[in-house]
Copies of this chain bind each other. A is one copy, B any other.
Amino acid sequence: MKTRDDALKLDETDPLAPLRARFALNSQVIYLDGNSLGVPPAAAAIRAQEVIAHEWGEGLIRSWNTAGWSALPRRLGDKLATLIGANPGEVVVTDTISINLFKLISAALREAASRDSRRRTIVSERANFPTDLYIAQGVIDQLDRGYTLRLVDDPADLPDAIDDETALVMLTHVNYRTGYMHDMAALTDVIHRAGAFALWDLAHSAGAVPVELNDAGADFAVGCTYKYLNGGPGSPAFVWVARRHQDALAQPLSGWWGHDTPFAMQPAYRPAEGIARFLCGTQPIVSMSLVEAGLDVFLETDMHAVRRKSLALTDFFIELVQARCAGQALTLVTPRAHAQRGSQVSLEHPHGYEVMQALIARGVIGDYREPSVLRFGFTPLYTRFVDVWDAAEALRDVLTRATWREPAFAQRHTVT
């Protein structure tokens, strides 16, 4: 059986271990919730001071040009592109996932209808992250043209649900709750064979697993910078559109940042060429500037090295929990198969909420997802194997000592 010394030895030979020093870590806790909110890069606090004191305070309005604020959505998008198999000019960092989904769903339905007006269905999963489904409903209600949202309960049912009435298939690559990872290339192929568009939500993929959007032939994607990319709380999201689609698409959030000549102050909207037409309004520059500090750490490694460590961490955690929490009412929710696993391990326990509260009280921060799921995120840039060991030990300790009382549902609402 593995020992804590084995974990320490794994850390000694971990090629990513030096990157841990790039982060300002809270030494009081073992943080396994970087899939909800990443930690601060050490450079973030310094960058914030530069932006506030120098760029904002000294440069004032001039910094939109001289400090490159206007170019940030595209410049950060180009850096991020390297992590998701995209090309320069295909990604902008802007707005939120919800808003970017609204842009893409609207644009995709419009384009699909222009090709074949019978395509009136959006296919997704009932287990998708809720805001994705809410936004699809928002678009459908606004259009009021008989569109429907068709939800499947099992990923295996997706191919049968996609047919010649499907306009768009909207899937989250790695499920937020279970950690299940779709085969992006295979599903995109199924979607394209049916004549539909493929939209991928990369919230739990970007910076977590290798993503190859262009190799997979995907059409659209959105994602998040505040989880594995460590951009800061609520830092702006990103939107990707395959180059081949960009100039054909119109999206309804047609704000001035997406205009071809925003400062000519023309009363009529004329969309910019390329990905810029997926911008809308003025972006929160301080929050956006910190995204770069997170991306720059990734540029010191590559997603294949990150993936190797991610799988080693999650394998190690699964092995330890199996060995040391045997006999407990735990069910592994995350797939064992590497090809179907993101960078998290989810465990069901009938008293999941209380187990997580007890772990947090012991300084092991994961999170809880309704219903019954303990979710542990493993972020290879700053998580050590010894952290995995200590977290598994804390879980064992909590499970073997505790007695449970069912809390009121209202108490359970935590925040991601």
A-side interface residues toward B, CB under 8 Å?
Answer: 24-26, 28-29, 31, 33, 36-37, 39-40, 44-45, 48-49, 51-53, 55-58, 60-65, 69-70, 95-99, 102, 106, 126, 128, 130-131, 133-135, 137-139, 141-143, 151, 177, 226, 232-237, 250-257, 259, 261-269, 280-288, 290, 360, 365, 367, 369-370, 412-416
Measured between beta carbons, the chain B residues less than 8 angstroms from A287 are 284-288
Pick the residue among B44, B226, B283, B360 that contacts A234 (CB under 8 A).
B283
Pairwise interchain contact B267-A151, C-beta atoms closer than 8 A: yes
Pairwise interchain contact A253-B138, C-beta atoms closer than 8 A: yes
Measured between beta carbons, the chain B residues less than 8 angstroms from A256 are 98, 130-131, 134
Pick the residue among B226, B251, B285 that contacts A233 (CB under 8 A).
B285
Assuming A96-B255, A282-B96, is B233 touching A69 (CB within 8 A)? yes
Pairwise interchain contact A365-B286, C-beta atoms closer than 8 A: no
Assuming A60-B33, A232-B285, is B369 touching A265 (CB within 8 A)? yes
Q: How far is the CB of A17 from chain B (nearest CB, A)?
A: 20
Q: 16 interchain pairs (CB within 8 A)?
A: A37-B64, A39-B57, A44-B56, A62-B365, A64-B233, A96-B283, A99-B253, A102-B252, A131-B256, A134-B254, A134-B269, A135-B253, A138-B269, A139-B252, A263-B370, A263-B416
| A64→B365 CA distance, assembly (Å) | 14
Pairwise interchain contact A61-B365, C-beta atoms closer than 8 A: yes
Task: Known A-B contacts: A70-B415, A96-B255, A97-B282. Give 15 more (CB < 8 A).
Answer: A25-B57, A39-B60, A40-B56, A61-B415, A102-B253, A130-B262, A131-B256, A134-B255, A137-B269, A142-B142, A142-B252, A233-B285, A235-B284, A264-B370, A286-B287
Pick the residue among B138, B233, B288 that contacts A63 (CB under 8 A).
B233
Pairwise interchain contact B45-A49, C-beta atoms closer than 8 A: yes
Q: How far is the CB of A249 from chain B (nearest CB, A)?
A: 13
Measured between beta carbons, the chain B residues less than 8 angstroms from A65 are 414-415
Measured between beta carbons, the chain B residues less than 8 angstroms from A236 are 284
Pairwise interchain contact A267-B133, C-beta atoms closer than 8 A: yes
Assuming A24-B53, A131-B255, A233-B56, is B286 touching A99 (CB within 8 A)? no
Measured between beta carbons, the chain B residues less than 8 angstroms from A259 are 130, 134
Most chain B CB atoms below 10 A, which of A31, A55, A131: A131
> Copies per complex?
2
Q: How far is the CB of A373 from chain B (nearest CB, A)?
A: 10
Q: How far is the CB of A285 from chain B (nearest CB, A)?
A: 4
Assuming A99-B255, A267-B151, is B281 touching A250 (CB within 8 A)? no
| A268→B133 CA distance, assembly (Å) | 7
| A102→B287 CA distance, assembly (Å) | 23
